[in-house]
Structure 1
């Protein structure tokens, strides 16, 4: 992979990380998917940044369980699902095509199926920090 593409992955990783951190404060931004994007970009962009990110408390608190066990807390699941619903609702109400609306409804049903049956729900771990 070229150095320019790796550099772009790193830049996108830091942007996603920044928005993910903002998501801790602002309830309208979903933290977990943004941190997953950051992790993906760091893996593709730089082994050094990948190791650094996986060593942070942020990664361990929000992503480690999902990456290792394919599990999330109920709060994480609901945050992602509701944010995605809002994003899907925008084109659903703007567009007039019944075909597109039907596809969006199918996406929503599949999304809920996947989160309910394919991703385990675990209790939120309270850390003594």
Structure 2
């Protein structure tokens, strides 16, 4: 598997890259479970941070059963299975609809609806669909 290019990191910055990798990993795991948080994107960023800070932690992240597969698929350009795309878009729409029902400010509602629309459009039009 090809690793993405990473710029060399000075030894003084490596602990910061590792720390940021752990923060992003935690947020990414939460994002895999909760709608509205881009779990896969955060995990891809975590892997990139680990690659710059300590390749051993990158290998650890990539070896996780579900999380590692998401990152490896993204890096390889395989995209998402159709079922996952449907689930992600549904979660975005449900989270946006719920949030819109709780907000009273029209500008905030419009902004939230636009962000949700951009997310759905990105997933449906830009992320490749992985065929079985």
**Coarse TM-score class (shorter-chain normalised):** 0.5 to 0.7
Partner of 1:45: 53
Aligned length: 121
Deviations 1:56-104 (A, max 9, x none): 2546522222222151123433444455556555654444221111011
Partner of 1:99: 107
Decide whether the 8 Å contact of 1:32 with 1:76 is kept in 2.
no
The 1:75–1:16 alpha-carbon spacing in structure 2 relative to 1, beyond 3 Å, is farther
The 1:101–1:4 alpha-carbon spacing in structure 2 relative to 1, beyond 3 Å, is farther
The 1:84–1:53 alpha-carbon spacing in structure 2 relative to 1, beyond 3 Å, is farther
Decide whether the 8 Å contact of 1:9 with 1:45 is kept in 2.
yes
Tell me, which stretches of 5 or more residues in structure 1 are unaligned?
A: 125-129
Decide whether the 8 Å contact of 1:42 with 1:49 is kept in 2.
yes
The 1:60–1:112 alpha-carbon spacing in structure 2 relative to 1, beyond 3 Å, is same
Decide whether the 8 Å contact of 1:16 with 1:35 is kept in 2.
yes
Determine helix, strand or coil for the equivalent of 2:104: coil
Partner of 2:77: 69
Determine helix, strand or coil for the equivalent of 1:96: coil
Q: Is 2:14 the counterpart of 1:6?
A: yes
Mapped to 2, the partners of 1:76 and 1:2 lie a distance apart of 38
C-alpha RMSD of the superposition: 3.6
Deviations 1:1-48 (A, max 9, x none): 666653233123234435656777xx4477534422321321343345
Partner of 1:127: none
TM-score by length of 2: 0.61
Decide whether the 8 Å contact of 2:28 with 2:39 is kept in 1.
yes
Tell me, which stretches of 5 or more residues in structure 2 are unaligned?
A: 1-8
Decide whether the 8 Å contact of 2:24 with 2:46 is kept in 1.
yes
Partner of 1:56: 63
